[in-house]
Amino acid sequence: MHTLHVDLGERSYPIYIGEQLIDRGELLSRHIRGKQVAIITNDTVAPLYLERLKRSLNGFAIASVVLPDGEAHKNWQTLQLIFDGLLQARHDRKTTLIALGGGVIGDMAGFAAACYQRGVEFIQIPTTLLSQVDSSVGGKTGINHPLGKNMVGAFYQPQAVLIDTATLKTLPPRELSAGLAEVIKYGLICDEPFLGWLEDHVEELRELDSAALKEAIGRSCAAKARVVGADERETGVRATLNLGHTFGHAIETHQGYGAWLHGEAVSAGTVMALEMSQRLGWITAADRDRAIRLLQRAGLPVVPPSDMSADDFMHHMAVDKKVLDGQLRLVLLRRLGEAVVTSDFSSDALESTLRADYGAMAQQLA
Ligand SMILES: NC(=O)c1ccc[n+]([C@@H]2O[C@H](COP(=O)([O-])OP(=O)(O)OC[C@H]3O[C@@H](n4cnc5c(N)ncnc54)[C@H](O)[C@@H]3O)[C@@H](O)[C@H]2O)c1
Ligand SMILES: O=C(O)C(=O)C[C@@H](O)[C@H](O)[C@H](O)COP(=O)(O)O
Ligand SMILES: [Zn+2]
């Protein structure tokens, strides 16, 4: 087992990475204050891992809340089911919520923990690649609004993150690829050597090679912990973790939550951010194409949905959380391995980015 730390003063916590950690009850127990535990999961993950987790929490009074699966359920109605379950089981202020699942479960369970009786503790047990490399770390919790992605939520840090890499063995390949979009993001925004490593190991990752997975998850979590430790509430550098997300969230909202996976939308959005960075003369066409090729090799879409117009993008991007005083800010690349958050671009540059022929670009590189 490998342990990393998110350094946030009194809100600091460990990230444990290893195989079969779900069975390590003694590790989890260190982070549980009271006698009550509520496991929040969904109807896909529950049959796979819920009983094992319950067994390893021997001695605690355990309630479980099994939610309907999917991004389309990341909303108020589903959140209410968590509160219903906690109240029905008479959970008090010393209860600990455990999020067992992907990013949807982690974001919702974390938000429920932030709200229930004005705040109870929670632990993340992420079971998708995306949640292991990104969403379980950093304390962004929340739900979607029909008008915008993750528009209602709270910054609320977990007590611990327990990453059992063996859970990835049951993950569908499409979901694994979606997670790779966020892994590649770290290379692009802050770690160019990692990008080179990913170019050498992307096939191994897709084949679930355990050494490669451990390396990719460890390096991704270390990057995320570093950024979050420097800027917990996104007043500066943390916004670089949003590379590709302004375009990507527009895709997710416009297509209907769940039609495009988050990682898929981030991948196409990253291509748009690369294109814009190239149009501004910050990266070369060769840099852009290098990154697009890696996304393609990861099994990710690199072309935005054909039914989305430039106006559709502008409409959804206007509610992005990085918009300040009505001004759109985007995460772009100064070079591969260095991101900036900027509003320093002309409307022409944005317009031509939205109208670029991504289909032709993808075909040429495939
Ligand atoms: N809080 C953050 O910092 C942050 C960061 C990135 C993404 N997110 C959010 O995370 C969500 C996406 O997360 P995701 O990609 O994990 O999607 P997800 O939570 O929908 O999980 C993907 C699918 O995999 C299933 N699944 C989970 N673990 C499994 C396993 N081990 N075996 C088989 N199936 C399994 C799920 O039931 C689901 O069907 C989005 O809502 C996104 O906004 C949040
Ligand atoms: O942790 C962060 O900060 C991120 O931006 C990570 C993103 O991958 C993630 O999708 C996040 O939920 C997006 O945040 P939002 O504030 O744009 O909703
Ligand atoms: Zn993301």
- What DSSP string describes 88-130? HTT--TT-EEEEEESHHHHHHHHHHHHHGGG--EEEEEE-SHH
Within the chain, all domains assigned CATH 3.40.50.1970 are found at 2-166
pLDDT in tens, 340-349: 999 999 999 9
Which active-site residues does the annotation give?
Answer: 118, 140, 182, 224, 234, 238, 242, 245, 249, 262
Cα–Cα distance for residue pair 161/11, rounded to 1 Å: 13
Region 11-18: mean pLDDT is 98
Cα–Cα distance for residue pair 12/234, rounded to 1 Å: 17
User: Which pLDDT belongs to residue 342?
Assistant: 97
CATH fold for domain 2-166: Rossmann fold (3.40.50)
User: Which pLDDT belongs to residue 225?
Assistant: 98
Tokens read off for 191: 């770690």
User: Which pLDDT belongs to residue 149?
Assistant: 97
Distance from residue 216's CA to the centre of ligand 1 (Å): 17
User: Which pLDDT belongs to residue 141?
Assistant: 98
Strands 2-6 and 330-335, how do they pair?
unpaired
pLDDT in tens, 35-53: 999 999 999 999 999 999 9
Dihedral of alpha carbons 330, 335, 336, 340, sign: negative
Contact of 171 with 26, CB cutoff 8 Å: no
Do the annotations mark residue 203 as ligand-binding?
A: no
Q: What angle, rounded to 10 degrees, do the helices at 173-190 and 192-206 form? A: 170
For the chain, give the percent of residues with pLDDT over 90. Answer: 100
305 CB-near residues (< 8 Å, 6+ apart): 251, 254, 255, 260, 268
In which band, very low, low, confident or very high, does the pLDDT at 192 lie, cut at 50, 70 and 90?
A: very high
* 103 close to ligand 2 (CB < 6 Angstrom): no
Strands 36-42 and 96-101, how do they pair?
parallel
Distance from residue 128's CA to the centre of ligand 2 (Å): 16
**Looking at the CA of 253, which ligand is closest?**
1
Do the annotations mark residue 72 as ligand-binding?
A: yes
* 73 close to ligand 1 (CB < 6 Angstrom): no
The atom number, within ligand 1, closest to the CA of 105 reads 19
Contact of 147 with 253, CB cutoff 8 Å: yes
Q: Is 0.95 topped by the overall pTM? A: yes
Q: What is the mean pLDDT of the chain?
A: 98
User: Which pLDDT belongs to residue 116?
Assistant: 98
Within its chain, how far is the Cα of 194 from the centroid? 18
Within the chain, all domains assigned CATH 1.20.1090.10 are found at 173-365
Please state the φ and ψ torsions of residue 136, each to the nearest 5 degrees.
Answer: -75, -15
**Looking at the CA of 257, which ligand is closest?**
1
Region 198-205: mean pLDDT is 98
User: Which pLDDT belongs to residue 73?
Assistant: 98
Contact of 74 with 252, CB cutoff 8 Å: no
Does the domain spanning 173-365 belong to CATH 3.30.450.40?
Answer: no
User: Which pLDDT belongs to residue 84?
Assistant: 98
* ipTM value > 0.90: yes
Please state the φ and ψ torsions of residue 6, each to the nearest 5 degrees.
Answer: -100, 115
* 238 close to ligand 1 (CB < 6 Angstrom): no
Distance from residue 127's CA to the centre of ligand 3 (Å): 16
Dihedral of alpha carbons 215, 218, 219, 221, sign: positive
In which band, very low, low, confident or very high, does the pLDDT at 224 lie, cut at 50, 70 and 90?
A: very high
pLDDT in tens, 258-297: 999 999 999 999 999 999 999 999 999 999 999 999 999 9
Contact of 82 with 128, CB cutoff 8 Å: no
Cα–Cα distance for residue pair 19/201, rounded to 1 Å: 20
pLDDT in tens, 228-237: 999 999 999 9
Torsion of CA 195, 130, 210, 54, to 10 degrees: 160
User: Which pLDDT belongs to residue 101?
Assistant: 99
- Max intra-chain CA distance, the chain: 62
Distance from residue 101's CA to the centre of ligand 2 (Å): 17
Within its chain, how far is the Cα of 263 from the centroid? 8
The atom number, within ligand 2, closest to the CA of 137 reads 1
Taking the alpha carbons at both ends of the chain, their separation in whole angstroms is 38
* 71 close to ligand 2 (CB < 6 Angstrom): no
DSSP at 135: I
In which band, very low, low, confident or very high, does the pLDDT at 171 lie, cut at 50, 70 and 90?
A: very high
The atom number, within ligand 1, closest to the CA of 70 reads 20
Residue in 296, 300, 275, 298 with CA at minimum distance from that of residue 285: 275
Which residue's alpha carbon is nearest to atom 15 within ligand 2? 150
Distance from residue 262's CA to the centre of ligand 1 (Å): 8
